[in-house]
């Protein structure tokens, strides 16, 4: 059985960073070039693999129909693969209309859930989506928040239902019947090597201290910033100045007003306490 | 029993129980039908079949069952008969969408034709095809050509006979373009009277029967269309060698299924012979697809007046 490791997170929580570190780890600690197509860890909601495995055009299906078929898609993809698969995920861990988990436990080897202080998430999301801080804060509290949900044109990705930030965190950390490793973005910054070692061990990747050190070095934030300056980063939305922007914890303090920060705490306080953010 | 509707689909005579208004009417000779489409029941399990993916069963004697939950189940037999068991109205647009999608692709593979996931237009006497990933703008570009007087040969599935004497030839499929609301608005088409592909989706079927020409056309070029990244130059560049073969392979319509229905070697050899004889080009387009008229003009200019 191959099965999946879901590299899941709310958007702007360090998923890409960890994804690059894992990629370096899997390629012997090599630097990560942004223009190499191979060895890139893909997103679970990409449209073309779905169409290819399901043998139809998802562009002729409604978003609800696609959701209902996605569990079958993952089961089939796991069946076709010889090795465990790693997929980036921004969807919340939800059930389809038929009550089936979108990410079937039967083909889930484990989920690494990357979580970040929602005040920093809001600031990062505002830069990503080129919107105001207030709009970003509202997005984090929107129970209908979704990516690729356009209805009048075709998106390269399938719709991803995110729920609120709190809903997203709870959906993954409380997902029944699967192993979940919670990784705090702040710990990735403070203790990059031990955090990466923990992720590697969770995924069954045999990595010694030297390899962990090399992968950590290859994906230091300033190295990624330099690579982005040299090669560009293809997942950067148009209009956004730089994808690898600050890579800091607590940067919200000079970007959010007290009132804005309080609004986030009052909406997500319980989950923030659970994760020791307050 | 004589079937009610007599239509034309890439040179095949199609006799059908249900109206197929997406197709051209049959205007050829009195030959027996090449393909029969019936409405009937389809068994839950084909005897001795293997499950190929979640929605498809492959049985003995080229039997193939394809189910779209909530829409219809289709049974294809001997590449000659299709039985539709619809979940609601057999003649509805949504039942025809998958008939003229995956089912059509299966028939092409079974009949030894190479279907590319591509739109295709006629420039003078030549066919020019546009492949690309979902959302790259294949249909939108085809609509751009159509609106400037270049008829389409296909919107979605471009059917190529790679073994035709004298080189690869495209068989026109049917005169229909599926366009999303944003593209409809761009061309200032009216949605009045347009059928939706699915009742709740903002995706419409535009008919182009008036300009459609059923004559097969020699293939002059295959473009691989994709949106450029920020900072990347738009325009046309040549693809060579393995890159051309790889991207063309990836553009075969229902590629994995086709390899199971025929042989992987046959498909690779068809793609190889295509890449050997036809230029495979990359076509980068900017965001918002703002330059369609000039792209159409440039591409048409390149292929007009060229004798192959």
Mean model confidence pLDDT for chain B: 93
Tell me how close the Cα of B307 comes to any Cα of chain A, in angstroms.
Answer: 36
- Closest residue in A to B231 (Cα–Cα): A232
ipTM, 2 decimals?
Answer: 0.95
Residue B137, chain A, CB below 8 Å: the answer is no
SS (H, E, C) chain A: CCCEEEEEECCCCCHHHHHHHHHHHHCCCCCCCCCCCCCCCCECCEHHHHHHHHCCCHHHCCHHHHHHHHHHHHHHHHHHCCCCEEEEECCCCCECCCCCECCCHHHEEEEEEEECCHHHHHHHHHHHHCCCHHHHHHHHCCCCCEECCCCCCCCCECCEECCCHHHHHHHHHCCCCCCEEEEEHHHHHHCHHHHHHHHHHHCCCCCCHHHHHHHHHHCCHHHHHHHHHHHCCCCCCCCCCCCCCCCCCCHHHHCCCHHHHHHHHHHHHHHHHHCCCC
Name the least confident of A109-123, A239-253, B285-299: A239-253
- Closest residue in B to A242 (Cα–Cα): B230
User: Are residues B135 and A72, on separate chains, in Cβ contact within 8 Å?
Assistant: no
Among B94, B134, B230, select the one facing A51 at the smallest CB separation.
B134
User: Are residues A56 and B182, on separate chains, in Cβ contact within 8 Å?
Assistant: no
Residue B69, chain A, CB below 8 Å: the answer is yes
Among B156, B180, B200, select the one facing A154 at the smallest CB separation.
B180
Among B94, B101, B255, select the one facing A56 at the smallest CB separation.
B101
Angle between helices A133-140 and A118-129 (to 10 degrees): 120
- Closest residue in B to A65 (Cα–Cα): B69
Tell me how close the Cα of B112 comes to any Cα of chain A, in angstroms.
Answer: 19
User: Are residues A72 and B66, on separate chains, in Cβ contact within 8 Å?
Assistant: no
Average pLDDT, integer, range A188-206: 94
Residue A238, chain B, CB below 8 Å: the answer is yes
**Mutation site for A-interface testing, chosen from B134, B185, B225 by largest number of A Cβ within 10 Å:** B134
Taking only Cα atoms into account, the Rg of chain B, rounded to an integer number of angstroms, comes to 19
Per-residue pLDDT, B64: 97
User: Are residues B97 and A155, on separate chains, in Cβ contact within 8 Å?
Assistant: no
Provide the pLDDT confidence category of residue B117 given band limits of 50, 70 and 90.
Answer: very high
Per-residue pLDDT, B59: 92
- Closest residue in A to B137 (Cα–Cα): A154
- Tell me which chain A residues have a C-beta less than 8 angstroms from the C-beta of B94: 60
Per-residue pLDDT, B2: 65
3 state DSSP class of B61: coil
Provide the pLDDT confidence category of residue B308 given band limits of 50, 70 and 90.
Answer: very low
Q: State how far the Cα of B104 lies from the Cα of B76, in Å rounded to an integer.
A: 10
Query: What are the two backbone dihedrals, phi and then psi, of residue B168, each rounded to the nearest 5 degrees?
Result: -55, 135
Per-residue pLDDT, B235: 86
Among A55, A60, A234, select the one facing B197 at the smallest CB separation.
A60
Torsion angle (degrees, nearest 10) of CA B290, B296, B298, B304: 180
User: Are residues B134 and A48, on separate chains, in Cβ contact within 8 Å?
Assistant: yes
- Closest residue in A to B99 (Cα–Cα): A56
Among B53, B66, B183, select the one facing A53 at the smallest CB separation.
B53
Residue B253, chain A, CB below 8 Å: the answer is no
| Greater model confidence, B276 or A37 | B276
Average pLDDT, integer, range B145-159: 96
For residue range B77-93, what is the model confidence (pLDDT) as tens digits?
A: 999 999 999 998 888 99
Prediction pTM value: 0.94
User: Are residues B66 and A55, on separate chains, in Cβ contact within 8 Å?
Assistant: yes
User: Are residues A55 and B231, on separate chains, in Cβ contact within 8 Å?
Assistant: no
């Amino acid at each position: 059985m191959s099965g999946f490791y879901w590299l899941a997170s709310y958007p702007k929580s360090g998923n890409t960073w960890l994804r690059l570190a894992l990629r370096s780890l899997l390629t012997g600690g090599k630097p990560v070039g942004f223009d190499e197509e191979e060895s890139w860890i893909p997103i679970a909601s990409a449209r073309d693999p779905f169409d290819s495995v399901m043998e139809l055009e998802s562009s002729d299906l409604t978003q609800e129909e696609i959701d209902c078929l996605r569990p079958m898609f993952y089961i089939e993809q796991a069946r076709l693969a010889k090795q465990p698969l790693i997929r980036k995920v921004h969807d919340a861990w939800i059930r389809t209309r038929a009550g089936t988990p979108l990410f079937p436990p039967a083909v889930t080897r484990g989920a690494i859930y990357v979580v970040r202080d929602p005040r920093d998430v809001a600031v990062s999301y505002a830069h990503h989506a080129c919107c105001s801080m207030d709009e970003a804060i509202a997005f984090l509290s929107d129970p209908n928040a979704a990516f690729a949900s356009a209805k009048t044109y075709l998106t390269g990705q399938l719709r991803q239902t995110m729920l609120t930030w709190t809903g997203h965190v709870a959906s993954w950390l409380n997902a029944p019947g699967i192993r979940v490793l919670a990784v705090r973005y702040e710990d990735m910054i403070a203790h990059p090597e031990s955090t990466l070692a923990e992720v590697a061990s969770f995924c069954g990747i045999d990595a010694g201290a030297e390899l962990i050190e090399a992968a950590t070095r290859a994906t230091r934030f300033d190295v990624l910033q330099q690579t982005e300056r040299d090669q560009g980063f293809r997942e950067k939305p148009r209009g956004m100045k730089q994808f690898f922007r600050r890579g800091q914890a607590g940067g919200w303090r000079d970007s959010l007003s007290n009132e804005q920060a309080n609004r986030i705490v009052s909406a997500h306080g319980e989950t923030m306490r659970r994760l020791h953010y307050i | 029993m004589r079937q009610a509707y007599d239509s034309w689909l890439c040179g095949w005579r199609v006799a059908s129980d249900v109206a197929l208004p997406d197709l051209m009417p049959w205007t050829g000779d009195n030959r027996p039908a090449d393909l029969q489409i019936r409405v009937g029941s389809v068994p839950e399990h084909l005897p001795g079949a293997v499950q190929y993916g979640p929605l498809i069963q492959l049985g003995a004697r080229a039997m193939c069952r394809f189910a779209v939950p909530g829409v219809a189940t289709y049974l294809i037999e001997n590449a000659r008969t299709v039985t539709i068991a619809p979940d609601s109205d057999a003649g509805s647009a949504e039942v025809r969408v998958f008939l003229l999608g995956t089912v059509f692709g299966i028939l092409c593979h079974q009949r030894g034709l190479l279907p590319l996931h591509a739109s295709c237009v006629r420039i003078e006497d030549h066919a020019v095809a546009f492949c690309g990933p979902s959302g790259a703008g294949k249909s939108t570009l085809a609509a751009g050509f159509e609106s400037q007087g270049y008829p389409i040969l296909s919107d979605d599935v471009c059917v190529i006979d790679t073994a035709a004497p004298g080189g690869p030839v495209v068989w026109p499929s049917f005169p229909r373009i599926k366009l999303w609301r944003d593209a409809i608005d761009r061309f200032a088409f009216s949605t009045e009277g347009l059928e939706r592909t699915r009742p709740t989706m903002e995706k419409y079927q535009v008919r182009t029967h008036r300009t459609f020409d059923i004559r097969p056309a020699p293939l002059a070029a295959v473009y691989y269309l994709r949106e450029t990244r920020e900072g990347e130059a738009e325009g046309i560049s040549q693809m060579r060698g393995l890159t051309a073969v790889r991207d063309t392979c990836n553009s075969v319509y229902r590629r994995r299924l086709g390899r199971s229905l025929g042989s992987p070697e046959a498909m690779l050899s068809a793609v190889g012979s295509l890449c050997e004889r036809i230029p495979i080009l990359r076509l980068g387009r900017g965001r918002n697809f703002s330059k369609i008229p000039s792209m159409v003009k440039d591409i048409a200019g390149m292929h007009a007046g060229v004798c192959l």
